[in-house]
A and B are shown apart, each in its own frame.
Chain A
Amino acid sequence: MIKLSIDGREVEVEPGTTVLEAAATLGIDIPHYCYHPDIGVDGNCRICLVEVNGNTDKLAIGCKFPCGEGMEVETESEAVVKARKGVMEFLLINHPLDCTICDQAGECPLQDYSYHYGTGDSRFAEKKRNKPKHVEFSEKVMFDAERCILCTRCTRFFEEVRDCRPIGVENMGGKSTITTGPNGPIQDPYQMNIIDICPVGALTSRDFRFKQRVWFMDFADTVCPGCSKGCNITAGSYQGKLLRFVPRRNTEVNASWMCDDGRLSYDKYNMPERVRGASVSGDPASFDAARAKITELVGDGQGVAVLASTSQTSEELFAVREWARTARVRDLWHGERTWESDDFLKQADATPNTAGAQALGYASVPSQAPELRGLIVVGDVDVPPALLANLDFLIQQAPQAGELGEAAVVLLPGRNALEKNGHWTNGDGAVQEVRAARDPGPDVPEDWTIWRDLAGVSWTSIAEITKAMGAVSTADAEAVTAS
């Protein structure tokens, strides 16, 4: 271990730790643009300059400079603050300062550091440099070279994370520009990550552009429902309408990345057409009436099975299982949905909680399914047609009824993957918290409450289920599987 001091505070770090990393352990945030924790260090922006051992002639870059034994680092000394202000000024002199129409506004480190280190007025009395604007890098990404600060996070992302070179830097000096050069539009299916890591508004999402100012939006930290990777995301919405997903850093799962397919899937969760309230035999009914009908149909539970979506949270699936136990329904199956996987994040299982469902004892639909009298379909799930043959009744609890809806004797509403709270377990076994990013509006209660009420249990919150689940899940799941 190496001992050093940063701003007069002692810290001990592993050999090879950089000053920026060491400072972070003390809660000292050294400003940075080109540094990104999930890409290699470059050291070009120079905003992270720090003073080492009193040397003010040559400052060191915190993002690259390795900690040394006994080193004394200052991150807020006079020389450092002066240099930082200088770098800020350099970055802004040719920047268009079009924050009023820039999508990055409100979540822009250039704005943030400018607020801290900017001078408020400009000493730049010259003509700003002109560079290409509105450059279509692809159907997904728009580039503005005038806003670009040439930190090269974007080119390094492709080089290091994606092992491809769809964009690069052309020309030299002040004329340097990020470009697709000899290439056509960017094709990489993870390309939109460069929008997030761009520390300024140079790379913007053509999907999200000009839709909403971020400070008017609401955000929920949740998990992408697109596949069993469970990339952590922040879902952004405005007045209940989802406008974008962006990845949220989790070094154990997705680092700072997500696939474009997952990212662009947000709109399907806005669901203008959906099930509201309960209905029985196609007619609106009270929840009490619906519950009574279910109890009547299920009877002793013989010949009845549950087919649940693996987009349901474990808490929801637990609640369903609790009801099934009371109703003596023994076959708990989970749905399956796949898409094409890749060698990075995208998994073949296109649902987020298969592992959670399996841990709770839900099994794949057997290839030789037993003859069924009734089927209870929970959530957004593809039902194998074979299961639907010879049914006496179908009960469906789901956000959208789809084709099944007409056949359902009892139809109950449900919340979609972006409207839920609880946990999903990803394909690697990580149990991750899911938080509702939007409210579905009237007559769509939380799924777990429907099954709680059917089961006649007295949980008052999701947290209670989480707790109950934690105590019973493993052992219980084994018992169910064995039966």
Chain B
Amino acid sequence: MFPDELVAELEEIRSCFPVAKAAMVPVLRRVQEDRGWIDPEARDWVAEFLSVTKMEVHEVATFYPMLYTEPVGKHVIHVCRTLSCDVCGARELWAHLEKKLKVERGGTTEDGRFTLKSAECLASCGTAPVMLIDNERHENLSLAEVDKLLEATK
């Protein structure tokens, strides 16, 4: 199901722990990077890979905001909504993105290019407002910069 290289990488992650199950979150994240989201097939593969039940994977995967158990767009944007960003331009950023992408929080653009997600504090409060595009951090954002970033993210 996965290329040998990726499986080797996952095996290396697993080898860091005395029990395979402890590799759960890093393995799920890595699988998600590969597939965009943790689809049922991937979930079941991980269960077998870590010698746990599907339910154990499901319980963990549905807990974490940064693990997606529903399909997402080609690129995922996370905009911080927490206080420091909120008072330093995040509202304008939100309004801008929702209008520009014609999508609500949590939604995916019609063309499937972007999913716009809300994030809680991203530890960049001194450089607010902040957002992640595909987990890449962008700080001190002006609306013009946001437009440029979106343009550059094909």
Given contacts A182-B40, A182-B43, A182-B44, contact A166 B63 (CB under 8 A): no
Is B59 touching A168 in the complex (CB atoms < 8 A)? yes
Given contacts A182-B40, A182-B44, contact A172 B55 (CB under 8 A): no
Is A458 interfacial (CB 8 A cutoff)? no
Is B51 interfacial (CB 8 A cutoff)? no
Residues of B within 8 A of A317 (CB): none
Residues of B within 8 A of A165 (CB): 53, 55-56
Is B35 interfacial (CB 8 A cutoff)? no
Is A171 touching B63 in the complex (CB atoms < 8 A)? yes
In the docked arrangement, what's the CA distance between A181 and B53, Å? 11
Smallest Cβ-Cβ distance to A180: which chain B residue: B55
Is A394 interfacial (CB 8 A cutoff)? no
Contact with B along A154-192 (1 / 0, CB 8 A): 000000000011111111100000010111000000000
In the docked arrangement, what's the CA distance between A166 and B56, Å? 10
User: Which of A169, A171, A172, A183 sits near B54, CB closer than 8 Å?
Assistant: A183
Is B63 touching A168 in the complex (CB atoms < 8 A)? no
Given A167-B55, A170-B63, 5 extra CB contacts under 8 A: A165-B53, A165-B56, A168-B58, A182-B40, A182-B43
Is A170 touching B54 in the complex (CB atoms < 8 A)? no
Interface of chain B residues 28 through 62 with chain A (CB within 8 A)? 40, 43-44, 53-59, 62
Q: What is the interface residue range for chain A against chain B?
A: 10 to 19
Would you give the shortest CB distance from A152 to chain B, in whole angstroms?
A: 11
Is B55 touching A166 in the complex (CB atoms < 8 A)? yes
Residues of A within 8 A of B53 (CB): 164-165
In the docked arrangement, what's the CA distance between A179 and B58, Å? 10
Would you give the shortest CB distance from B34 to chain A, in whole angstroms?
A: 20
Q: How many residues of B contact A (CB 8 A)?
A: 13
Residues of B within 8 A of A179 (CB): 58
Contact with A along B81-110 (1 / 0, CB 8 A): 000000000000000000000000000000
In the docked arrangement, what's the CA distance between A168 and B56, Å? 8
A positions within 8 Å CB-CB of B: 164-172, 179, 181-183
Is B56 touching A170 in the complex (CB atoms < 8 A)? no
Is A182 touching B55 in the complex (CB atoms < 8 A)? yes
Residues of A within 8 A of B58 (CB): 168, 170, 179, 181-182
Is A181 touching B63 in the complex (CB atoms < 8 A)? no
Is B63 touching A172 in the complex (CB atoms < 8 A)? yes
Would you give the shortest CB distance from B32 to chain A, in whole angstroms?
A: 16
Q: What would 26 A/B residue contacts be, using CB atoms closer than 8 Å?
A: A164-B53, A165-B55, A166-B55, A167-B55, A168-B55, A168-B56, A168-B58, A168-B59, A169-B59, A170-B58, A170-B63, A171-B62, A171-B63, A172-B63, A172-B64, A179-B58, A181-B58, A181-B59, A181-B62, A182-B44, A182-B54, A182-B55, A182-B57, A182-B58, A183-B54, A183-B55
Would you give the shortest CB distance from B70 to chain A, in whole angstroms?
A: 12
Smallest Cβ-Cβ distance to A179: which chain B residue: B58
In the docked arrangement, what's the CA distance between A197 and B105, Å? 39
In the docked arrangement, what's the CA distance between A167 and B44, Å? 16
Residues of A within 8 A of B56 (CB): 165, 168
Smallest Cβ-Cβ distance to B47: which chain A residue: A182
In the docked arrangement, what's the CA distance between A166 and B43, Å? 16
Smallest Cβ-Cβ distance to A169: which chain B residue: B59
Smallest Cβ-Cβ distance to A175: which chain B residue: B62
In the docked arrangement, what's the CA distance between A164 and B54, Å? 11
Residues of B within 8 A of A169 (CB): 59
Would you give the shortest CB distance from A154 to chain B, in whole angstroms?
A: 13
Would you give the shortest CB distance from A73 to chain B, in whole angstroms?
A: 34
Smallest Cβ-Cβ distance to B40: which chain A residue: A182
Would you give the shortest CB distance from A393 to chain B, in whole angstroms?
A: 60
In the docked arrangement, what's the CA distance between A164 and B43, Å? 18
In the docked arrangement, what's the CA distance between A172 and B69, Å? 13
Would you give the shortest CB distance from A358 to chain B, in whole angstroms?
A: 43
Residues of B within 8 A of A166 (CB): 55
In the docked arrangement, what's the CA distance between A166 and B59, Å? 12
In the docked arrangement, what's the CA distance between A207 and B58, Å? 29
Smallest Cβ-Cβ distance to A170: which chain B residue: B62
In the docked arrangement, what's the CA distance between A171 and B62, Å? 5
Would you give the shortest CB distance from A474 to chain B, in whole angstroms?
A: 50
In the docked arrangement, what's the CA distance between A169 and B57, Å? 11
In the docked arrangement, what's the CA distance between A395 and B66, Å? 75
In the docked arrangement, what's the CA distance between A171 and B54, Å? 15
Would you give the shortest CB distance from B118 to chain A, in whole angstroms?
A: 14
Residues of B within 8 A of A167 (CB): 55
Residues of A within 8 A of B54 (CB): 181-183
Smallest Cβ-Cβ distance to B52: which chain A residue: A165
Would you give the shortest CB distance from B7 to chain A, in whole angstroms?
A: 22
In the docked arrangement, what's the CA distance between A432 and B55, Å? 40
Residues of B within 8 A of A182 (CB): 40, 43-44, 54-55, 57-58
Smallest Cβ-Cβ distance to B56: which chain A residue: A165
